[in-house]
Amino acid sequence: MSAPNDDRDLIFRRIREAIRIRRENLPDHGDAERYRQLLPPVRASLQARIELFREWSDKLNTRFIAANPSDWRAEIASLAAAEGWKSSAFHGTGLAREATEAAGLPAATALDTTRGYDPERLEACDVGFTDCEALVAQTGSVLLTSRGNGGRALSVLPPHHVVIATAGQMVPDLLAAMALIRERHGAALPSLVTLHTGPSRTGDIERQIVLGAHGPKKLTVILILD
C-alpha cells in the first residue's frame, strides 16, 4: 500500500534512464575473501581472538572479564557489590537470567523485557543483563539482535550493560559476524541487528572523549571460557 504522491515509478524510470551508460573503469566488485585480505588482520586461534578482544576492550573502556564456568557468577556478584546495583533488567531464561540471579537481584523481581515492560521502569534500572549473538575480536564488538537478546532497549537504556558470552561465540571479524547473521537469521531477519563497540561515547566538544553520552556509560563483557 503506497501513500499518495509516492514517486516510486518516476524515480525508477529516472534511475533506469540514468544508468543506461555503465562505467567502464570500475574495478571488480569484491567478496568476503578479498575483503579479508584488506581489513585489519585477525589471527586464527581462539586465544589470539580473545587477546585481541581484550586489547580493544582496554582501548574502548569496555570492562572485559574472562572467567571459568565455575567462576563467572562470582565475578558478577563482586561486580554487583562494587557497583551497588539495586535494580536490574534481563531477558528470557538463559545466561542473562542466571546473571541477574548471580548479582543477587532475583529474576522474580527483576524486569524481564521479554514479558512486556514499562520503559519508565527499564530506564530506572541500574543494569541490563543480556546474552549476545557473538563477540567480534577484530573490533571488540558485541553482536546483538532484537529477537535473541531481549529486544532493542534493554542493551541501551540502562546505564550499565552487562553481556554474558561463551568462548565459542568469539568470531574473528566483521565478515564472520555478517556470515553468522546470514546463516542464523537469513530466512527471517530480526528487525534489529546491532554491534555495540564500547560504551556510549562522544567527542563533540573539543574532540575530548566523554563516555555515556546517551547510551550506557559502562559496558561489561563477561566471557565464559570452556
- Window contacting another protein (CB under 8 A); options: 70-78, 97-105, 163-171, 184-192: 184-192
Residues between 92 and 131 with contacts to another protein, criterion CB under 8 A? 113-114, 116-117, 119-120, 123
Q: Smaller CB distance to another protein: residue 167 or 178?
A: 178
Contact status: 225 vs another protein (CB under 8 A): no
Contact status: 87 vs another protein (CB under 8 A): no
What angle in degrees, to the nearest 10, is found between the helix axes of 95-102 and 72-83? 50
Q: Which amino acid is at 187?
A: A
Say how many CA atoms lie within 13 Å of 63 toward its Cβ: 16
Q: How many residues bind another protein (CB under 8 A)?
A: 89
- Answer for which of 73, 91, 97, 218 binds another protein (CB under 8 A) is 91
- Answer for which of 34, 58, 81, 168 binds another protein (CB under 8 A) is 34
Contact status: 183 vs another protein (CB under 8 A): no
* CB within 8 Å of 189: residues ≥ 6 apart: 181
CB of 77 to another protein, least distance (A): 26
Say how many CA atoms lie within 13 Å of 121 toward its Cβ: 12
- Answer for which of 46, 67, 77, 153 binds another protein (CB under 8 A) is 153
CB of 145 to another protein, least distance (A): 9
- Answer for which of 53, 56, 72, 129 binds another protein (CB under 8 A) is 56
- First-last CA distance in the chain: 51
Contact status: 187 vs another protein (CB under 8 A): no
Contact status: 44 vs another protein (CB under 8 A): no
Do the strands 62-67 and 218-224 form a parallel or antiparallel pair, or are they unpaired? parallel
CA proximity to 138, closest of 17, 225, 55, 206: 55
d(CA 119, CA 212): 19
